[in-house]
Amino acid sequence: MSQNRELEEWQRANIVLLNSQGMSELKIAQKMNCSRGAVQSTLKRFRETGSNTSKPRSGRKRATSVQEDCNSSNLVRLSLKNPKMTSSEPAAELAGVDTPKISARTVRRGLNEGGLKGCKARKNPGCLRPIRRKDCYGPKNINS
């Protein structure tokens, strides 16, 4: 098991259940395929709080709600209507009176979740090998 991955809630419930049946921490860790420290911290949290749920994490609150993220069709529609639009322009269009200002990164994340991938345009898409000028537009005569 990875060192940084948190145990699922059902795994924590199984640990508490196995401990209440009298199984040792080491045997629980072997059976659940996790570390002994994970078992110890799960049991300690259960003794202190009486619950298996994780504590809320710190960090910045989301600017958009889950419903707005699921309904990112407005954002996708705006982007498909004008593909050359930068990510800060839809943010300005979507920000209304009752909606908080969203960042360009939030727009890019929403477009990515909506199935659109942002990329930089090539400087000259018609010219893949700019060695000679005639290569850019294709050969006029193959034999020459």
Q: In the prediction, which pLDDT does 102 show?
A: 75
**Calculated CA dihedral for residues 72, 74, 76, 82, nearest 10 degrees:** -160
pTM for the model stands at 0.45
Q: Which residue has the higher pLDDT, 16 or 134?
A: 16
Q: In the prediction, which pLDDT does 59 show?
A: 79
Q: Which residue has the higher pLDDT, 87 or 2?
A: 87
pLDDT category at 96 given cuts 50, 70, 90 is: low
Mean pLDDT of 5-14: 90
Q: In the prediction, which pLDDT does 1 show?
A: 44
Sorted by where each begins, the domain ranges of the chain are 9-49, 66-113
Report pLDDT digits (tens) over 39-76: 999 999 999 999 888 888 787 777 666 566 555 667 77
* Max CA pair span of the chain: 88
Q: In the prediction, which pLDDT does 122 show?
A: 59
Measured between alpha carbons, how far is 116 from 109 in angstroms, rounded to an integer?
10
Q: In the prediction, which pLDDT does 100 show?
A: 65
Write out the DSSP string of the chain: --SSPPPPHHHHHHHHHHHHTT--HHHHHHHHTS-HHHHHHHHHHHHHHS--SPPPPPSPPPSS-HHHHHTTHHHHHHHHH-TT--THHHHHHH--SSSPP--HHHHHHHHHHTT----PPPS-TT-S-TTSHHHHS--S-TT-
